[in-house]
């Protein structure tokens, strides 16, 4: 199994981002994220043996409850940089609560042998993967003309354990478990 933990975004935020994706997909042949795949990753677990699934589920269920997380989705950016981007993303602002959830999830996973994160936590929503610069200028122009780059605010009361399944057209994400934050 290939696993990760994530927070789902609100229906309103998803609808705003879906409209943006619809507009941008018309001007560039990027690999656009399917609307159902939009989420905020809190911990990438990677390959995990099926026979150890229950230990992972228990570790996540027994984490201290950090409380609800206030999240705002806004701003657009390019990774690793705007000059030679591979990813177009929407920013996530959530303050210390989301960072605390990331640290707690990382620590719970480390207790059962999942390596701790070494890179800093930068929450975001991946909107597109960019294989070629074709259409990049058109996307930049469209983004510059947007009336707003704010895509909603919501309160997350839970996070989920997902399985990522690779298919010929891209990855599919399947929700396996839900864990309350309260």
The residue extents of the domains of the chain are 2-180
Asked if residue 35 lies in contact with residue 17, where contact means CB atoms within 8 angstroms, the answer is yes
pLDDT in tens, the chain (182 residues): 999 999 999 999 999 999 999 999 999 999 999 999 999 999 999 999 999 999 999 999 999 888 999 999 999 999 999 999 999 999 999 989 999 999 999 999 999 999 999 999 999 999 999 999 999 999 999 999 999 999 999 999 999 999 999 888 778 999 999 999 99
One CATH from 3.20.20.70, 3.90.1140.10, 3.30.420.40, 3.40.710.10 for 2-180: 3.90.1140.10
**pTM (whole model) above 0.75:** yes
């Amino acid at each position: 199994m290939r696993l990760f933990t994530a927070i789902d975004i609100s229906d309103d935020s998803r609808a705003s981002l879906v409209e943006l994706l619809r507009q941008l997909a018309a001007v560039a042949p990027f690999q656009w994220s399917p609307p159902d795949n939009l989420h905020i990753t809190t911990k990438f677990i990677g390959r995990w043996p099926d026979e150890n699934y229950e230990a992972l589920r228990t570790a996540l269920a027994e984490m201290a409850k950090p409380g609800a997380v206030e999240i705002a989705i806004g701003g657009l950016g390019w990774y690793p940089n705007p000059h030679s981007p591979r990813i177009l993303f929407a920013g996530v602002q959530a303050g210390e609560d989301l960072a605390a959830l990331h640290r707690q999830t990382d620590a719970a996973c480390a207790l059962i042998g999942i390596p701790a994160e070494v890179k800093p936590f930068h929450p975001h929503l991946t909107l597109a993967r960019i294989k070629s610069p074709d259409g990049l200028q058109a996307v930049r122009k469209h983004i510059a003309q947007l009336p707003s780059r704010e895509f909603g605010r919501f309160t997350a009361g839970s996070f989920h354990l997902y399985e990522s399944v690779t298919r010929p057209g891209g990855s599919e994400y399947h929700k396996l478990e839900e864990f309350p934050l309260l």
